[in-house]
Amino acid sequence: MQDDHSTSCCAPSGKEGKLGTGVATQSRKDGPTDAMALLTGGEFLMGTDDLDGFPADGEGPVRAVSVRPFYIDQFAVSNEQFAAFVDVTGYRTDAEGFGWSFVFGGLLPDDFPDTRAVAASPWWRQVERADWRHPLGPQSSLDTILNHPVVHVSWNDAQSYCSWAGKRLPTEAEWEYAARGGLERKRFPWGDELEPGGKHMMNVWQGAFPSKNTLEDGYLGTAPVDGYQPSGFGLHNMSGNVWEWCADWFSSDFHISGPHDDPVGPSSGQAKVIRGGSYLCHDSYCNRYRVAARSSNDPGSSTGNMGFRCARDA
């Protein structure tokens, strides 16, 4: 079940010209803690040795990692929250600066003008004037999805929002600790079964990708940020819905010999870690909605299935 790192449900890269600067792990204790969960931290088992994972992504080996107590948002940052940030600061996202972003073609109307497709994954379309305000292009709006996660935000954009809010992006270790919800070595925040008792626990692709989504879980694109049952830590949508940016630079092997006490990833790199999978993941070809799964993208890239949530020091 191996796939190319830049294809499948994973978000395509395409804006390498504007890389992020520094890291987003600086200590922050000044932001509000409303709608955040306080996690006690401690040692946990990070990663997986499961055979249906993606070894090239550096999911394993399983190793003992410790994190300090921290706060993390119960929900991904919503369109409404991001709009408040932009209204106050006048911030302009990378997608707005570039003039386009990647949109999943299956969400576009049948009469949408032809757009450039990504060669290795033609379901991704380069749509002019697609951005966080217009997630499906200039004809779309946020009117009915204010409580959905903001998308078409780059790592740079996510870092800027967190800084404005007095928070920061979670480290990858913090993100996985939070996603596990207190369970040890389970595949999902709720356990090992994909659909326990036939119940849909996350927003992922249903049917045959990319031609048919049966909508059995209720959604074609994004779901509300408070959708589905929360984890044992009270967090929503840590699997599926949208990929979430983390602070760390991506490496497939740094964690093997790197520190295991509050790790923050390599000091430099070309791509930032994203975690959690998205509404485009499907068990038949890409199961990166598992809590141990990981992927990456360029700090300046944006797509219709990448968002973020904030963290804060305790």
**Mean pLDDT for the stretch of residues 227-251:** 97
Domains of the chain: 36-313 (3.90.1580.10)
Closest by CA to 292, choosing from 203, 202, 171, 180, is: 180
Give the SS3 label for residue 157.
helix
pLDDT at 180 over 80: yes
Reported pTM: 0.93
pLDDT at 106 over 60: yes
Give the SS3 label for residue 14.
coil
Q: Which pLDDT band, with edges at 50, 70 and 90, does 185 fall under?
A: very high
CA distances in angstroms from 116 to 102, 107, 277, listed in the order given:
10, 15, 24
pLDDT at 308 over 60: yes
Do 123 and 8 touch, CB atoms closer than 8 A? no
- Between residues 119 and 300, the one the model is more confident about: 300
Average pLDDT in the chain = 91
**Mean pLDDT for the stretch of residues 245-259:** 95
Residues 6+ apart with CB under 8 A from 181: 189, 190, 231, 232, 233, 235, 238
Give the SS3 label for residue 180.
helix
Query: Could you report the per-residue pLDDT of 130-176, keeping only the tens digit for each?
Result: 999 999 999 999 999 999 999 999 999 999 999 999 999 999 999 99
Query: Could you report the per-residue pLDDT of 5-55, keeping only the tens digit for each?
Result: 344 557 776 655 444 444 445 666 778 899 999 999 999 999 999 988 888
**Mean pLDDT for the stretch of residues 101-127:** 91
Overall size of the chain counted in residues: 314
Q: Which pLDDT band, with edges at 50, 70 and 90, does 92 fall under?
A: very high
pLDDT at 4 over 90: no
pLDDT at 113 over 90: no
**E strand or H helix at 12:** none
